Amino acid sequence: MASRTVQAYDTLVLHNPKSVLVVLLLILVFFGYHVKDFKLDASADSLLLEDDVDLKVFRKIHERYPSGDLLVVTYTPDKDLFSDQALESLKQLRGELKKVTSVDTVFTILDAPLLNISDLPFTEMIKDIPSLEKPGVDRGKAKDELLNSPIYRELIVSADGRTTALLLGLVEEEQYNSLLQSRNELRAKQRNAGLSVKETQTLERINTEFDQAHEALNKQRHLDVAHIRDIIEPYRQHGVLYLGGLPMITVDMVTFVRNDLIVFGCGVLVFLVIVLTAIFRELRWIVLPLFSCFYAGLIMVGVLGLIGWKVTVISSNFLALMLIITISMNIHLIVRYRQLKRDHPGDDQLALVRTTTHKMVKPCLYTALTTIMGFSSLVVSGIKPVIDFGWMMSAGLAVTFVTSFLLFPTLLMVTGKTGSKPTFDSGRFFLPAYLARLTETQGNKILVLAVILTVVSVAGITQLRVENSFINYFSADTEIYQGLKLIDEKLGGTTPLEILIKFGDDSDDFLKPEDLEGLTEEEIQMEREFAEMEREFAENANSPEYWFTAYKVELIKEVHDYLDGLPEIGKVLSLVSPVRVAEELAEEELDAFQLAILYTKIPPEVRKTLIDPYVSIDDNEARILARVLDSKPDLRRNELLETVHRDLGEKLGFEEHEVIVSGLLVLYNNMLQSLFKSQIKTIVVVMLGIAIMFLVLFRSITLAIIGILPNLLGAAVVLGVMGWAKIPMDMMTITIAAITIGIAVDNGIHYIYRFREEYALTHSYVETLHICHSNIGKAVFYTTMTIIFGFSILVLSNFIPTIYFGVLIASAMLIAFLAALTVLPKLILLWKPFEQNSAQGPISATTP
């Protein structure tokens, strides 16, 4: 079978290079056409876990308490915030923002109802509620009320009275929301129970419509953010302004992803030209690998466009990684071709290219498979963008392998046999040769050092943590960072936490026949009258007159005050907030009748803002919103949520079914906490996969162990450094170990494969060591340096996890390279795994 495949390859590819090039060109044109459909995505799904139970709860809650997209403009004027000049600028800015088509509402300190500054009775004042911009309002009293308001303090005005926020409610996209809900419901059913044929077709249709609606919404939000920024810009002469909010973050993230793709791609290309020039000093060996890179990259982008696979901030470096790995594989082919040409100068071009491909296809196939294994292991992480990144890179590596053994050989055949210039390593000193001597003379010390590094690294790994601030994902000079930091420190925090209180059904407390036993006629009549009152109350429980009770409000107050007392929590909002404003006005606690009057008498637009987001009378529940201080240095999200869960039961006396803890904090924490499990899963999967491939390739348990052990060192040291340096794990750094092992093991495969081949000729381990370091060692050195500097390009990103990802993988690859040319050959010298093959005859240059 293998022989027929080789013959077919020789006949179809190597004997017909021009025809193959035409076919490859047609394929390139096809996929190149679909590059126009290539899309980026920076939606909130990037922080979600697949099949997260809390995500389902979160979505259910937000179906009952819908809230549109919100943008926040923070304004810190140079003058006093409550001065005429500052308020006039604020009024003008508000007016311009209201004219933006997509802006539905603008709420500022100018619009906030002021209930405590009027001497009128509440029933009269409610008809014309005072606000800061209305004539005759005492500005000093207004300032005092705003700064001490349970509602507005740290919501639209900072505690120090210097910064205010303009809250921009964006127009609801009803079609988008409807499609999103339908899609989520069908996806949930698909995961749990499966779909019928008709439902599957419906899901496919909704997916298509949703993607179109999502794309249209993204374009609109991009225009909205750009327009609002244009409006804000002139007002910077009056103070410091920042734009914040999830829509702005999404727009900027897409911009970051697009910029990263361009910068990484161009940066890696420029670097590759420099490296190839330095190594080979020949135009041919610069142009041919770059053709392969261009071809593989364009094909993969076209594939993503064709199948509608969107690139996120996590997978934004896929193009750079593809270029790096493609060039690495091409360097191995070039080095082997040049060696064969030097050793067999009389062979024609067909013989040289055929021998090169035959000898390199097996190690390159296995290195591609092990790297694919490294990336595909990410699919067990459970984190959607990480899963997508894993599949994307696995597909890209398959494209890279096919390109390297179709396009590169045919280009070699077409260009023909030429002379070669010496590479830059022709001088007396060369690192692989030095490492060969070091391994031969100091091998035992190297193994001791490797063991010490492993022990220290394992100790560091135990220090790994997953706590990470979303704010710290971005560079300090970006508006995302600056806006989030200001909102977090001055305006009550950023990440939302929600508590839902479910009030019990009192129907079980109604009068039962056994309750009347032993009572007098008079007592029975009184019990029946009371029971009738209870029944009437229950029947009308969904009306405000009956729902608002002092008992319910007291329960909400307890939870509200508990959250407000936690140092990690900033602003807390609930039904209690407007109730306390009303109680300050009335100078007494409100009873059930007064609470019902408050609900029914206040204007609908005020009720929509101050009460409806926190109460669902139909569902007999109350909602409390809190915001966590995300930039707090000692914040421990998981411990905070565990404390809240515990205290709601032990301190406040709630049963488990009576309260629900939800919000983005819970979803984000679930993602963070899954990282440890995901790290273990991905490493186990990649190690098992690589071990199996080593066994298949070398048919030796000893060689499998020798090949794997040194490559674990790079991943272990980097994870240990992360632990000791307190670098938190995140969605990017979680991939480092699996990817490092998957890529670094390529060195081991190439080295062992060549060692076995050369040992069959020399029958001397030490001599083979030096030979391998002088040939395959060079290729490993070139490819490793290419990978290291290629990953270093990622430091140009605006996304901090991407920078960590690039630097840490580059460091891991350096350690893995040193281990591959020291620890690995020393283990071969110690275990002598090729003794059984000593009887093998020599392998000629032209033997497949």
Model pLDDT for residues 264-291, shown as the tens digit of each residue: 878 888 888 888 888 888 889 999 999 9
Q: Which of 422, 425, 277 is nearest to 338 (CA)?
A: 422
121 contacts 97 by C-beta, under 8 angstroms: no
The pLDDT score that the predictor gives to residue 633 is 81
As a whole number of angstroms, the distance between CA 9 and CA 2 comes to: 11
Judge contact between 716 and 330, C-beta under 8 A: no
Q: Are strands 615-616 and 621-628 parallel, antiparallel or unpaired?
A: antiparallel
Structure tokens at 502: 């479910």
Residue 485, Ramachandran bin (φ over 0: left; ψ between -120 and 50: alpha; else beta): alpha
Where does the pLDDT of residue 21 fall: very low under 50, low under 70, confident under 90, or very high at 90 and above?
A: very high
User: Across the chain, what does the average pLDDT equal?
Assistant: 84
**pLDDT value at position 63?**
80
Cα–Cα distance measured from residue 123 to residue 602, given in angstroms and rounded to the nearest whole number: 9
Asked which of 28-32, 422-426, 491-495 is least confident by mean pLDDT, the reply is 422-426
Distance of CA 167 to CAs 110, 111, 155, Å?
A: 12, 11, 9
Confidence of residue 87 (pLDDT cuts 50, 70, 90): very high
Average pLDDT of the residues in 15-28? 93
> If you average pLDDT over residues 192-215, what whole number do you get?
87
DSSP state of 422: P
Question: Is pLDDT of 832 > 60?
Answer: yes
Phi, psi of 537 (to 5 degrees): -65, -45
Tell me which amino acid residue 659 is.
V
Segment among 69-73, 306-310, 606-610 with least mean pLDDT? 606-610
User: What is the pLDDT confidence band of residue 507, given thresholds at 50, 70 and 90?
Assistant: very low
- Whether the predicted pLDDT of 383 surpasses 80: no
Lookup: tokens for 288: 């041919």
Chain centre to alpha carbon of residue 213 = 23
Extract long-range pairs of 650-657: CB within 8 Å, 24+ residues apart: 651/562, 652/558, 652/559, 652/562, 654/501, 657/502
| Residue 846: per-residue pLDDT | 33
Cβ of 437: how many Cβ atoms within 10 Å? 12
> Using CA atoms, how far apart are residues 137 and 238, in angstroms rounded to an integer?
24
3-state helix, strand, coil in the chain (%, to 5): 70, 5, 25
Task: Please tell me which residue, 71 or 173, carries the higher pLDDT value.
Answer: 71
Which pair of tokens denotes residue 449?
């050092």
Q: 588: part of which helix (H) or strand (E)? A: none
Q: Furthest-apart CA pair in the chain: how many Å?
A: 122
H or E segment to which residue 39 belongs: none
- Full-model pTM: 0.79
pLDDT at 844 over 50: no
**C-alpha–C-alpha distance, residues 541 and 557, integer Å:** 21
Please give the pLDDT value at position 511: 44
Q: Are 349 and 414 in contact (CB under 8 A)?
A: no
Q: Identify the burial level of 731 via C-beta atoms within 10 angstroms of its C-beta, where 0-12 means exposed, 13-18 middle and 19 or more buried.
A: buried
Cα 34 from Cα 122, distance rounded (Å): 65
**DSSP assignment string, 708-751:** HHHHHHHHHHHHHHHHHTTPPP-TTGGGHHHHHHHHHHHHHHHH
pLDDT reading at 447 higher than 90: yes
pLDDT of res. 542: 58
Classify the C-alpha dihedral 500-504-505-506 as positive or negative: negative
Both tokens of 465, joined, read 């943590």
Q: What is the pLDDT of residues 561-589, one digit of tens each?
A: 999 999 999 999 999 888 888 777 777 77
Mean pLDDT of 624-649: 90
Lay out the sheet containing 103-107: strands in order across.
103-107, 164-170, 70-77, 239-244
SS3 508: helix
Share of the chain above pLDDT 90, in %: 34
Query: Would the CA dihedral through 611, 613, 615, 618 be positive or negative?
Result: positive
- Looking at residue 647, its pLDDT comes to 94
Q: Between 114 and 758, name the one with better pLDDT.
A: 758
pLDDT number for residue 28: 94
pLDDT for 444: 94
Query: How many CA atoms lie less than 13 Å away from 646 in the CB half-sphere?
Result: 6
Residues of the chain above pLDDT 70, percent: 89
d(CA 267, CA 673): 34
Query: CA–CA separation, 341 vs 351, rounded Å?
Result: 10
When comparing pLDDT for 751 and 549, which is higher? 751
Q: What is the pLDDT of residues 150-178, one digit of tens each?
A: 999 999 999 999 999 999 999 988 888 88
> What is the rounded average pLDDT of the residues 316-322?
82
Q: What is the pLDDT of residue 541?
A: 52
Would you state the pLDDT for residue 466? 79
How far apart are the C-alpha atoms of 105 and 172, rounded to whole Å? 11
The one-letter code for the residue type at 427 is G
pLDDT of residue 527: 56
pLDDT at residue 369, rounded to an integer = 87
